[in-house]
A and B are shown apart, each in its own frame.
Chain A
Amino acid sequence: MATNIAAQRIKREFKEVIKSEEVSLYLNVAQCSIKVELVNDSCVELKGEIAGPPDTPYEGGNFILEIKIPETYPFNPPKVRFITKIWHPNISSITGAICLDILKDQWAAAMTLRTVLLSLQALLSAAEPDDPQDAVVAKQYKEQPEMFHQTAKHWTSVYAGGPSKMPELDEKIKRLTDMGIEEHNARDALSSYNWDLERATEQLFS
C-alpha cells in the first residue's frame, strides 16, 4: 500500500512544482524559483534545484539537490542532500548533508516536495548556527560574520554559478595549487581557517 501512495503522491507533487515554476516564470521572478525533475523516470529519486535567495551570499547561485523518496513516503520524510557544494552552518561543506528539523523529527505527512524545497530556500536565508551540521562553518558564522559572508559568496560563485568574483581569494587558492594542492582541498582548507594562508598550508602539509 505504502509504495502505491508514494508513487501517487510524487506524481502529484511533481506536477505541483512544475505549476509553481510556470507561475514564477510568468511573474518573471525566476530568482525565487524552485525546480524538480525525475531521475531515471522513477518516482524513487528526483533532482531538485533551488535558486539562492536575494540579499544573501547565495544570491545568483543555483543549488542542485539529491532527493530520495523512501518506500514509506509520505509517512517518512524524503532524504535530501545538496549535490552543489555550499558554505552554510546547517549544511555539511563536505557531504552536503542537511540539518533541518522537517527532514527529521518535525516531518509531517502533508508536507510536499514543494514545501521542502521552499523550506530549504528559507534555510539559506536564515541559518540556525546553534543547531549546526557543519561546526567549522557555524563557528565562523558566529565569530566572523564578514568572513563567513565572503566565503559563502565565493563558494556560490565557484560551485553554483554565482556572479561575484573575488580575485584576492582566488589568488590565495592559486598559491596553494601552485604547491601541488588540489583546488577543492585548497579552498576547503582556506575557508576553514578564515583564509589564513599560513595555517591552511600547515594543515594541508601536516
Chain B
Amino acid sequence: MGFDVNRFQGPVDEELICPICSGVLQDPVQAPDCEHAFCRLCMNEWINRQPTCPLDRTPITAAQLLPAPRILRNLLSRLRIKCDNFVHGCQQDIKLDALMAHLEECEYNPKRPITCEQGCSLIIPKDEMKNHNCVRELRNLIQSQHQNVTEMRRELSEQQFQLNEQKREIHLLKDFMRAMRVSNPIMRDIAEQMERDEVARWSATLPRARVTRWGGMISTPDELLQTMIKRTLSEYNCPPHVINELMENCHERKWPAGLNSLETRQNSRRQYESYVCKRVPGKQAVIVLHCDNTHMPEDMTVEPGLVMIFAHGIE
C-alpha cells in the first residue's frame, strides 16, 4: 500500500497516486496495454480477486504486470517524505528512495535495538528501556537458563539409562557368544578373532608410553600394587577376558624366557627400546601387548601381553 499523501510537502501530482489505495505509489507496477500504474501490493490484492485493470477493466493477469517506467520511478524517488517516526520526534524530510536506509538507522525509531548501559548489557528495543530493570531481566534469564539445565539433566539421565541398558545387552550377547564358542569350533575361531580385535581396538585408545629408566622396573610387585593397577585397567575399559591374564603377567615368574630372571634381563636390555609400550593411565606402569609387539623375538613377549610396573621413569 502506498504512502499517505499527508506525509509529503505540498500537493503530490495525481499521476503519482495509486488509484486503489489513494496513497503515493509504492513499488509501482503498470498494466501492459493501458499503462495504468498501481502499487505492487495493491495490484496483487486486486488481481487475485479480478483479473482486470481497476481503472478501465482491460483483462490482465498477474504475469503480464510490468515494472513502472523509469521516469515514473525517478519522479517518485525525488519526492520528499516525512520519516515514519515523525510522531516520535524525527523532523527529517527524506527523499523517497532514501527512506528505507534512513528508517534502519533513525534514532527516533522506538523499536531501535540498543545496549543497556546500566549494567546488564542486554540488547533491547529503545521504547522498552524506560521500564527496563536489569535485575528482573537477568533474573528471568537465569530462570530460563535454569530450566534449560534441568531439561538437559533429565535428558542426560535418560541417556545414561539407555546406555546402561545397551551395555547390559552387549554383555548378554558376549556371554551368548562365549557359550556358542564352547559348542562350535568355527564359532570359537570367530570369537577368538573378535577378542583379538577387541584387544587391538582397546590398545589403540591408550596413549603410547616411553620408558626413560628401564632400571626402575619392579619385577616382583606386591598384591597391593597389583590390585591398584588392575583397578585402573578396568576403569580404562580393558576387555574383561584379558584383564586377569594381563595381571598375572605382571610378575617375573610369568614372564617369557628373555625376561624371567635378572640375568636374562641383563642380556635382553638392548632390545627394550624396541618395545611398543602403552601407558596405564595415571600409573607408573606400561602394558606390552602381544598384538603391538609382533616384531619382537618370541622370548620377549607373551600372549595376550604383559604388564611392567616401575618405581619411576614413565612418560
The complex places the Cα of A111 from the Cα of B45 at a distance, in Å, of 16
Instruction: Give the nearest-CB partner of A1 in chain B.
Output: B1
The answer to whether B1 and A110 have CB atoms under 8 Å apart is no
Q: How many residues of B contact A (CB 8 A)?
A: 19
Interface membership of A74, Cβ < 8 A = yes
Using an 8 Å CB-CB cutoff, how does the interface string of A172-194 with B read, 1 for contact, 0 for none?
00000000000000000000000
The complex places the Cα of A107 from the Cα of B54 at a distance, in Å, of 8
Interface membership of A12, Cβ < 8 A = yes
Interface membership of A166, Cβ < 8 A = no
A5-B20, A108-B54 as given contacts; A75 in contact with B1, CB under 8 Å:
no
Chain B residues in 8 Å Cβ range of A13: 22
Interface membership of A203, Cβ < 8 A = no
Chain B residues in 8 Å Cβ range of A110: 19-20, 54-55
The answer to whether B54 and A109 have CB atoms under 8 Å apart is yes
Chain B residues in 8 Å Cβ range of A107: 50
A93 to chain B, nearest CB (A): 31
The complex places the Cα of A12 from the Cα of B14 at a distance, in Å, of 13
The answer to whether B23 and A8 have CB atoms under 8 Å apart is yes
Interface membership of B4, Cβ < 8 A = yes
What total count of A-B pairs have CB within 8 Å? 43
Q: How many residues of A contact B (CB 8 A)?
A: 17
The answer to whether A74 and B1 have CB atoms under 8 Å apart is no
Instruction: Give the nearest-CB partner of A105 in chain B.
Output: B50
The complex places the Cα of A13 from the Cα of B5 at a distance, in Å, of 13
The secondary structure that dominates the B interface is loop
A75-B46, A110-B55 as given contacts; A12 in contact with B1, CB under 8 Å:
no
The answer to whether A108 and B57 have CB atoms under 8 Å apart is yes
Partner of B21, one of A9, A76, A106: A9
Instruction: Give the nearest-CB partner of A12 in chain B.
Output: B22
B8 to chain A, nearest CB (A): 14
Using an 8 Å CB-CB cutoff, how does the interface string of A1-31 with B read, 1 for contact, 0 for none?
1101100110011000000000000000000
Within 8 A of A (CB), among B32-67: 41-42, 45-46, 49-50, 52-55, 57
A17 to chain B, nearest CB (A): 13
The answer to whether A109 and B19 have CB atoms under 8 Å apart is yes
The complex places the Cα of A13 from the Cα of B45 at a distance, in Å, of 20
- B22, B46, B50 pick with most chain A CB within 10 angstroms: B22
- A2, A13, A109, A110 pick with most chain B CB within 10 angstroms: A109
- A1, A2, A110 pick with most chain B CB within 10 angstroms: A110
Partner of A109, one of B4, B5, B41, B46: B46
The answer to whether A8 and B54 have CB atoms under 8 Å apart is no
The answer to whether A74 and B4 have CB atoms under 8 Å apart is no
Instruction: Give the nearest-CB partner of B55 in chain A.
Output: A110
Chain A residues in 8 Å Cβ range of B50: 107-108
Within 8 A of B (CB), among A100-128: 106-111
B57 to chain A, nearest CB (A): 6
Which A residues contact B (CB, under 8 angstroms)? 1-2, 4-5, 8-9, 12-13, 74-76, 106-111
16 further A-B contacts with Cβ under 8 Å, apart from A108-B53, A108-B57, A109-B46, are A1-B41, A5-B1, A8-B21, A8-B22, A8-B23, A12-B5, A12-B22, A74-B21, A76-B49, A106-B57, A108-B50, A108-B55, A109-B54, A110-B19, A110-B20, A111-B54
Which B residues contact A (CB, under 8 angstroms)? 1, 4-5, 19-23, 41-42, 45-46, 49-50, 52-55, 57
